[in-house]
Amino acid sequence: MKYAKEVMDLMAPYPGRHFRMSDLVRYVAPRATGPDRQRIRNGILRVLESLVDSGHVVIAPAARRGGFATYAWLKVPHEVLQKCHEKCHNSGRALAP
pLDDT at 76 over 90: no
What pLDDT, on a 0 to 100 scale, did the predictor assign at position 80? 46
Domain ranges for the chain, please list them.
4-87
Spell out the residues 6+ positions from residue 13 whose beta carbon is closer than 8 angstroms to its own: none
Summarize pLDDT for 27-48 with one digit per residue, the tens.
999 999 999 999 999 999 999 9
Cross-strand bridge partners of residue 70: 20, 60
What does R_g of the chain's alpha carbons equal in angstroms?
17
At 75, the pLDDT band (50, 70, 90 cuts) reads confident
Q: How far is CA 93 from CA 82, 87, 90, in A?
A: 18, 11, 8
Class of domain 4-87: mainly alpha
Q: What is the DSSP string of 35-84?
A: HHHHHHHHHHHHHHHHHHHHTSEEEE--SSTT---EEEEPPPHHHHSSSH
